[in-house]
Amino acid sequence: MSIASTSKSVIQDTKAHSLSPNPLITIDLDVHSKKRTIEHVASLISTRCDFCINDILESLILRERLGSTAIGSGIAIPHGRLAHLDKAIATLVLLKEPVDFDAADKMPVRIVFGLIIPEDQSEQHLTLLRSIASIAQDPTALHILNSNKDAHVIFHWLKNRNPELASLML
């Protein structure tokens, strides 16, 4: 199946599901730095849990200081852990313009998956990171994420590809 026909089928499938709740997806975020991007991710996550934005931001920044969370192909996965968090929370942010995330492949980042995981959920943490990393290896997935401007289209595509990850965005 070609990239164009895949995108078309994603759009058609989404029209049948237009009444879903708003996922934690931001399209065309206009920021110009890694720091501002991570702040936005923390802000989104804070809308779905009882932690203050500063605790979430601190967790994300502490992890980023260990090494860049950019994984290549214009994707980054800023992620962190919090004790006493009930369940993992995921976000997807598509930047208006790519920003430097200190990626090993030197490619600036436009696609940002943010994750906060309960501290005791190591296996889920690794599973989610692997599933997001697989998107970087999939030209069709990259095309869909880079070309669509509708959060619901992207959410339903993601829901079909990875229901667990999509469910963490609700």
Strand pairing class (109-118; 89-99)? antiparallel
CA proximity to 40, closest of 49, 28, 29: 29
Amino acid at 38: I
pLDDT of residue 18: 42
Tens-place pLDDT, residues 46-60:
999 999 999 999 999
Q: What is this structure's pTM? A: 0.87
**pLDDT reading at 17 higher than 60:** no
Contacts of 48 (CB under 8 A, 6+ apart): 24, 89
Give the CA count within 13 Å in the CB-facing half-sphere of 59: 23
Mean pLDDT of 19-38: 89
* Domains of the chain from N-terminus onward: 3-167 (3.40.930.10)
- Provide the strand spans (E) within the chain: 25-29, 70-72, 75-76, 79-82, 89-99, 109-118
**Which neighbouring-strand residues pair with 80?**
116
Cite the active site residues.
79
